[in-house]
Amino acid sequence: ILCTVLCLQLCFTSTVASSMHTDPGLITYDAPAGSQRNDDYTIQVRKKGGTWQELFPYNAVNMNKGPDQDSTVTPLNNQTFAYFDSDFRQSIEVRVTRNKGSFRHVSIRPTSDGINFRQKGNSIIFYLDQPWMISIEFDHDIYHNLCLFANAVEKDPVSEGDPGVLSFGPGFHDA
């Protein structure tokens, strides 16, 4: 899955998020200053029946040779990723709107997880009841997909100053 490449970027991004919005059981984060936004999708989450919270759609550049591995040209593909944290005591409703054109087909991968969705206009809506790392692909386009990371809330998070903890404040860092 192409989302695997984004995990490292996600790990660094989530540690530098400037602030968070908490709703018991659902935590969303503002993007750090200077983050590159990808406007292909609008991603919103809420606890069932709650208020929609928009997730920041991060842009990730993927250098992928595509189906022709012998090609000397490596195209750059802009993909989108977003994330949130939840304790998943209640289902989390997710709404993804494709902002650029209509679509006829959607795959939520891995397909073996059997995440069902309903389509309403240019949006799909589905529910998550546990942590997932999924790829949402519109019209079989695996190069401009949305990777959504639905993370479990940490039970015993480390704190700045704990033994063996190296802390980076908000912002971008060359590590």
Q: What is the length of the chain?
A: 175
At 9-39, the pLDDT tens digits run 444 344 444 467 766 689 999 998 889 999 9
Contact call for residues 30 and 13 (beta carbons, < 8 A): no
5 confidence band (pLDDT: 50, 70, 90): very low
At 106-127, the pLDDT tens digits run 999 999 889 999 999 999 999 9
Give the mean pLDDT of the chain. 84
Closest alpha carbon to 104 in 138, 153, 57, 130: 138
CA distance 155 to 132: 17
DSSP tag of 1: -
DSSP tag of 6: H
